[in-house]
Chain A
Amino acid sequence: MLGSTTGLPARGKGFAVTTTTAAEPTRRDFLYIATGTVGAVGAAAVAWPLINQMNPDASTIAAGAPIEVDLGPVAEGQVIKVFWRSKPIFIGHRTKKEIDEAQKVDPKTLPDPQPDSARVKQGHDQWLVLIGICTHLGCIPLAHQGDYDGFFCPCHGSQYDSSGRIRRGPAPANLAVPPYEFVSDTKIRIG
C-alpha cells in the first residue's frame, strides 16, 4: 500500500514539472522512497510475530526432550510402541530369523539401499528402533505383517522388511531411525 502511494504524487498537478525535468531522484522522491521503505520494514516486522506464533511453543519444545526406555521387559519377537515428540517409536526385539533375513539381503537391490548394520547400533543387532510413520503419507504401519517379516502399512499397502526398509509399495524411503543411544545394555535414550 505504501509502495503504491509513493508513486502517486507524480500524477497530482504541480508535481509533473519537477519530476520530469530532474533526471536524478529529487529530494521529494527520496522522501517518498524513504517513507515507503520504512513503512514496508514496519509491515514485515509486524508480520514476524504473527507468523512465528504458529511455530512450536516453549512448552511443546520442552516436552520434546529426550526420553529413556527400559528394554528389559521387551520379549524377543515383540514390538512395543512408545511416544517421543508425539511420534510413535517402534522398538522391536528381533528374532535370530529376522536379523538373518535383514542382513542377508543385498542392499543394492532395494529401493532405498541401506545395509542392516546402518539401521541398528553396533553390538545391539537384536534391537530395531524406528519412527513408526510410513514414509509415504504418514500412516502408522502394522508390525509383524506383510511379506517381509516386517511392517505393512494398511493405508496404501507399503511393505517394510525386518529392518524397516521399504520393499514394495508407494513409500519412497525406509522407515526413519530416530536419534538414540544405548545408556546401558537394557536402556536407550531417544532424542
Chain B
Amino acid sequence: MSGPSTYQPQNAFLKWFEARLPIGGLIHSSFVVYPTPKNLNYLWAFGAILAFMLGAQIVTGIVLTMHYTPHVDMAFNSIEHIMRDVNYGWLLRYLHSNGASMFFVAVYIHMFRGLYYGSYKEPREVLWILGVIIYLLMMATGFLGYTLPWGQMSFWGATVITNFFSAIPLVGESIVTWLWGGYAVGNPTLQRFFSLHYLLPFVIVGVVVLHVWALHVVGQNNPAGIEPKSSQDTVPFSPHATLKDFFVVALFCLFFAWFVFYVPNYLGHADNYIQANPGVTPTHIVPEWYYLPFYAILRSIPNKLAGVVAMFGSILILCFLPWLDTSRVKSATYRPLYKQFFWVFVLVCLGLGYLGSRPAEGGYVIAARILTAYYFIHFLIILPLLGLIETPRPLPNSISESVRQKSGPISAVAIALIIGATAYLAMPSFAYAQGEHDAPKPPRNKWSFAGGFGHFDQGQLQRGFKVYKEVCQNCHGLSLLSFRNLADPGGPGFSSAQATAIAAEYKVQDGPNDQGEMFEREGRLADRFPPPTTWKNEAQARQLYSGTVPPDMSVLAKARGYERGFPLFLVDALPFFAYQEHGVDYIVALLKGYKDKPPEGVTIPQGGNYNEFFPSHSIAMPPPLTDGRVEYTDGSPATLDQYAKDVAAFMMWAAEPHLEARKRVGFQVMIFLLILTGLMYFTKRKVWADVH
C-alpha cells in the first residue's frame, strides 16, 4: 500500500508465488517496513485495539449465531440457553455483549485522539471521513445487535429508534412500516435485524480496509502534527509499532476481562432480562451508554423532525470537520487556545452523555439544550474562528527535534482520556425505574457469592430451593431451569440421585402417546420445571391476581435492581469494591417490605398490598413468607429474614448458574493477562531501546 515493494523472498516456492500474486510484498510493505513516526504515543495504539475488537466481535458473534434463534418466541430463551447449556456459552455471550461496549470505549478514545492532534487535516480528510462512516456503521450494528436478545430494552429501543424515521415528512410512516415489516416491531423486524446485524460487521471490515489503505497512503499523523521529513523521524512498523500495539492490546484485554468476568451486566440494563412485552413500556427507557450523548441531543429539541435532524447532524458534522477547522496547525500541543476548547468540548460530550441517562424533565432538559447548543457552536463557530485568531506556538523543525525537546507528559493526554472514558462509562448508572422515585433504597446484605472470589453457599441454595418449592412455585414458574441443574457443579450441590428424586415428585406433561392422548408422568432429570399449577395462562393469571402475571423466577434476580446513586454506582464497578448484588438485595427488601397498614395519605387499590420497596408500593402478591412457614432441617432460623435471603440466593443461582465458574476462570485469565502484559511491556522496551 505504500509504493513498490522491496520484498525479495528467498524460498523458491514463495518467489514463484510472489511473481503471480504479490501478497507477501503487500504485507511486507504495509505491516513490516511501513514507516511510522517514532514519536507516536500510546493513544495511537487504539487503532490496533479497534482492529482487535472488530475481530473479537466477529468471532464471538459467528459462534453465538450457531446457538441463537431469531424468533420472537424463542430469541430470549435461546440467549438463556447459551448462558446455561452451551459449553462456555456464558463466556462467549458476555464477551460479545461487553465487547460492544469495549469497541465503543476504544473508538471514542480513537476519535478524541484524532480531534486533539488534528488528524483530520490535510492530507487525511478522506481517512477521517472513512472513520466517521465506520463509526456510523458501528452504531447501526450495535443497535441491531442490542435488539436480538429480545428483552424489554431491546424491544423498546428498537421501537424508539425505528420511529426516528417517522419524523421524515410525507413518507416517514411508510418507511417505518417498511423497516418493521409489519404494523409494529415484531417477528419480521427481529429476523431482518438479525440478518443485518450479521452483514454490517463485514461491511465495517470493508471500510476498515479502505481506512487502513488511506492511512498507508498519507502516513500516520503524530503528536507533533508535522509530517516526517527523513528516515530519522520514523521507525519500521514491525517490530516497533507491532509490539507497542500488542502491549496496549494486552493491557486493554485486562480492562475488557474485568468487565466480562466480574461485572458482566454492569453496562447493561436489568430490564433487558425481562422478555419483550409489546404491551408495557419500561418506565425509564435509556439506550446503551455509547448512544447517550446523541440521545440527549435528540430529546433536547422539542420538535420531532428537528430533534432527529440534530441528532444525525451531530454525527455528520464530523465529516465537515476538516474544513470547519481553519487552523493549519494540527496538534493541540501547539495550539494553546484550541487545547482549552478541546477539553471543554470533551466535558460537553460527557455532560450530554450524563443528561442522556437522566429522565427528560426539569433542569435536565435545560442543561441538555445548553450543551447541545454548545456542541454545534464548537464546530460551526469556535473552530472556524479559532484558526483565524489563534497564535500557534512555534512548531519544531522535525519529529526528531520534537522528541528531543519533549518535556515528558506524553501520556498525560492518554491518562486524562482514559480516566474520562472510564468515568463516563460508569456515569449513566443505568437508571433503573424500580425504586427510583420515592421508594427507599434496599439495604445491602452480605452475600457469599459477592466479590471476586464469591461462591454459593450450598446449604443456603438448598434452603432457598425448599422455600421456592413450598411457597413460590404455586404461582411463579422456573421455566428455564431443568431438574438436572440441581446437581450441576456450582449449584445447590444435590447429588444426581437426589435431583432424580426431586424430579420424580413433579408431574410433567408428555405425549401424545400411541392413542394420541397427552399424559402426565414423573419428571426426569432432563425435564424443565413444570409451569405453576394455579394458573393455566396469562389471561387467567391476570384474572386471579388483580391484573398481573406472577413473573417467572428463572432470571428475576438479574432482571431487578435499584439505582445506587452517585458516586456509589462508580464504586460498584471497581476492582475490590465491585458490587453486583442489587437484584438480590431488592428481592430481600421486597419480601420483608410488607406493612400491615399503608402510611397515612397512601391508599392502596383493591387487590393490592402495601410494600415499602415496590415501586408503586401497591403489589398484587400478598406477603408470601412469614416466620415458621417453611421448616428448616439444618438448624437455620425459620424466620422471614432467613427465608428471604435464602430464596434470593437461590434465585441468584437460578439466574446465573455459572457464576462460580465465571469468577474462577476470571481469576485465571487476569493472572495470565498480567503476566502477558508484563512480558509484552519488557519486550516492547527492549525493541525500542535503540530508538530513544
Contacts and interface: CB of A to CB of B under 8 A. Distances in A.
B186 interface: no
B287 interface: no
Interface residues of B, number: 37
Given A53-B67, A59-B482, A62-B525, A42 B672 contact: yes
A16 B59 CA distance: 39
Nearest to A52: B87
Contact of B85 (A31, A32, A35, A59): A59
Main SS of chain B's interface residues? helix
A31 B676 CA distance: 11
A57 B676 CA distance: 32
Nearest to B672: A42
Contacts of B238: 5, 8
Given A31-B682, A32-B683, A35-B680, A57 B85 contact: yes
Interface stretch (B239-247, B303-311, B432-440): B239-247
B525 A58 contact: no
A53 B66 contact: yes
Size category of the A interface is: 20 to 34
A38 B676 contact: yes
Contacts of B514: 73
Given A5-B242, A57-B85, A62-B525, A42 B679 contact: no
Given A28-B686, A31-B686, A9 B239 contact: yes
Contacts of A8: 238-239
A39 B85 contact: no
Contacts of B59: 50
Contact of A62 (B236, B482, B690): B482
A22 interface: no
B549 interface: no
Interface in B92-125: 92
Given A12-B239, A57-B89, A50 B482 contact: no
Interface string A27-68: 010011011001101100100111011110111101101000
A62 B87 contact: no
Contacts of A58: 84-87, 484, 488
Main SS of chain A's interface residues? helix
Nearest to A54: B66
Interface string B152-168: 00000000000000000
A139 interface: no
Contact of A50 (B63, B236, B525): B63
Contact of A5 (B87, B239, B484, B690): B239
A39 B524 contact: no
B91 interface: yes
Contact of B526 (A31, A41, A63): A63
Given A32-B683, A60-B85, 8 more contacts: A9-B686, A12-B239, A38-B679, A49-B92, A50-B92, A53-B89, A55-B87, A59-B85
25 contacts: A5-B238, A8-B239, A9-B239, A12-B236, A12-B687, A31-B679, A32-B683, A34-B679, A35-B682, A35-B683, A38-B676, A39-B246, A42-B673, A49-B87, A49-B88, A50-B63, A52-B88, A53-B66, A53-B88, A53-B89, A57-B89, A59-B81, A62-B484, A65-B524, A73-B514
